[in-house]
Amino acid sequence: MFGDGKPAKHFIDLLIQYRDGRRVAVAAKPTERLATKNKDHLAKAAGARNGWDGMQFESLQSDTGSAFFSEYTHRAVSTAYATYFFPQVGEPHLRGIIERIFSTFTDRAMPYIPARTYRNPQERGDYDTEARVTLTDDQLASIFIRYIVDVYHQSLHFGLYEETPQNAYNRLVGTIGKQQHRNPPTQVR
């Protein structure tokens, strides 16, 4: 599905659709490209019980990591007719929504994954993450896909007024994102 079949250290990027103060959907990396595509085939391959729709977005906010400054990322955001901005460095409260979902994953999904990391070295203590690496890229991707699709998207959320992200998405689909231009303008001679 994603990797070379060998255990390795992994990172995850997330895109959260946020509309009118409501969290709508989550997509994992490659974030910008996959976010807008239907991912039912990935959900099915991971063994998820539910489907995984793509979503449009109007703007993208990210941290200032080098991957987010790449030409590929800027091109993907531009192709989606979206705006791109970066909150001030060192001000995590300006990224509260994404920070909260990482906290949710840390508390609810990560305890079941071998070789997990922790919020900080003090919390990790003497847990030897490197010595416990056992999952391949595909195994880790399957765990996160199933968690996102079957647990996170289907769970009632306080921030959604006790609605599930999937139900919020279903209610709002078609109202999110800018109109895509299907055909390039023709040149008049």
pLDDT for 30-82, tens place per residue? 455 567 778 899 899 999 999 988 777 777 777 777 777 778 777 777 777 77
Whether 108 shows a pLDDT value over 90: the answer reads: no
**Contact predicate 35/27, CB 8 Å:** yes
Type of residue at 122: Q
For residues 27-32, average pLDDT = 50
Map out the domains of the chain as residue ranges: 14-172
pLDDT number for residue 47: 96
pLDDT number for residue 18: 62
pLDDT number for residue 138: 84
Q: Give tens-digit pLDDT for 136-185.
A: 878 888 888 899 899 989 999 888 889 998 888 888 777 765 444 444 44
| pLDDT bracket for residue 24 (50, 70, 90) | very low
67 vs 83: which has the higher pLDDT: 83
Instruction: Tell me if the pTM is above 0.85.
Output: no
For residues 117-129, average pLDDT = 84
Residue 51, burial from CB neighbour count under 10 angstroms (0-12, 13-18, 19+): middle
Whether 5 shows a pLDDT value over 50: the answer reads: yes
- Show the tokens assigned to 173: 């689909």
| pLDDT bracket for residue 188 (50, 70, 90) | very low
Alpha helices in the chain (DSSP H): 31-35, 40-46, 71-79, 96-108, 121-124, 137-146, 165-172
**Contact predicate 176/40, CB 8 Å:** no
**Contact predicate 17/169, CB 8 Å:** yes
One of 1.10.10, 3.40.50, 3.30.2310, 3.30.420 is the CATH number of 14-172, namely 3.30.420
Locus of tokens 């391949």: 136
Whether 99 shows a pLDDT value over 70: the answer reads: yes
